[in-house]
Structure 1
């Protein structure tokens, strides 16, 4: 009997010890165990916490992007770091239109005339060419402005564009390619001051200003489809601003006029000949600038090294390709 009791006690003790050894082992639900499953709260937090930082910055951040298209002087298209494409509207500036009609009264001092509109159109082309020369296929930095917000009315990103360490928006204004855009942004006062200086100096588009307004005079025409206007007194020194003086022809007729071989001359006999294929559509204008530039459908360039049209008075004579006098315009 004693032996049987001893064996029973030994077996019972072994079972108790085995149970204690299992406590805290590999199958434990302890939160310190490497194999413990996260709670529902922990899983939710893990799933909603971003694993990488977003590539789209906040309104106060900066980002480096690649320019894929220059739309015009103040609008570009870029590829963002995350691969998306965005349209960027340059903040705080407005260049003259190239895809629509310009409104001269938006640009202080520009005359509300056909000549004023034509001049702004040419300035818009110049601004676009300038933007393409500086930004096409470049890697640039976008800087955002908390005061302006990140996107404009049409959903485009609003930003300062920095290229080669220079703030391109500001350069547009100082070089006379844009006006200060009256809106809320941090650099407003600096941009407004830069525009005033460019305007007072007759720089770029400001050569279209009232100081160079159309000269008044009388014309005699054998072709009543044509009319002419002259800006003889360019802002500043005429010889330093040759494209600030110009003659504008307008077709008031119902049909296009082929100007191939036609000429324009002043009283002293200086003569410009229109290239073959030059046409003036019904209702359209064509402006002849004294200086150099790239000819377009609306603007041609004489390529002279000095001013042509006398500020105190002159006569514009237009002749057909056969030498027939079509129109004369005398101003004082």
Structure 2
């Protein structure tokens, strides 16, 4: 039992008992002289047991919620969705605790009636305490057991498998909504989303490993670790089930990875098994098992084989303030066939990109031996993206940078998927699991070299390179308002920018417009696209609109 709960129970008893100490009395021969009805004694005892049984898990959850709230407030400076979720969860727990405490008022009132009877009698306080009813408290959780660099915090029985990485477990702390550590299973169907490829199969596998009533151990490095999803704090735990010998050695997380039904999802606070799980994942992926086969889910129209598309991801934004535009993915077509990417999507291990609005626009293609860059953020002002680039429009950076510091082995992965359909699709076509872990790696040559081996005029990704070094790679478009067409062309020539002229004049056929002077037929620049101040690559194009002077 928590120290707070012990203090609460003791306080409840002492408040009532202390109220009698101010009234002296004389000894009596029998407690029966008090004439306290048995039903009153039984009633107050039952209320105490009910209250303490209810409050024990509530106090644990409130303490846990407070710790998470304080941690996230310090880490995020009180900003972001995760902090707000923790704030909302703490508020909910406190409100529930206050509601439960109203039961203490009822107990106190009933206790006072009994104490008043005692005060009016000649019984001494000592004799009453010796004969007071016994309060039975709920069983406590056993002390944590350290094991293999982590601790066994709870044990219990499976109530229900929610999906491929979430399980309800009945423990000494009550029913826990446990989020598995280290894995991210594909999502099952929700009211707002289709089931992802492998989501149903991952859930079924977990159900077979953890049938209802199965005994399990719940382990983690940190007791307070949790997944704050949709304002619900789910404790992070490794779940271990019993093997055929009755030992808790069945690692269900590893089983999901072995079957190719989960991605690697390390947490820097829960790192004991990160590298072990990464190795299991890589083995499954290289063997083409499960979702890594490229054809796990049916009704797939696309026939692009695994290996046709090479992928590179940069998780560490080079733009100050961790701007999301700096996080990007680059796809390279290794074949001589055009690949239609309409409706395809990328996702990381989290759920930030699963919304259909992040799917590639209709008409997105990957040309033979071509390149496509996907920026996770919105385009930067004055740096328009090129035809071989798209921007997803995220407002914050989401990718976790790879690290092996302290043997924690953390990072993020990127996965390229075909269009998800109501009856299938959504197969993996390319991926990069937590790149450069455990060893450092170098960027592939094709990021800086053309197909003939020569240096690219602008390293990939093009627009980001221009934004980071506009003086070297960019060409600033000048303001050409009022210039003639010839002057506009001259102004753009030294910048190595092309010009397209569009005549917007509406002269009357055969001569100048009625009521105008001869100067009205002189044409000049009235608009341009892109606007002045925009940075373009060499050989970029500026559209100039000319009209007669009014």
TM score, norm. by length of structure 1: 0.42
Whose helix fraction is larger, Structure 1's or Structure 2's?
2
**TM-score normalized by the length of structure 2:** 0.27
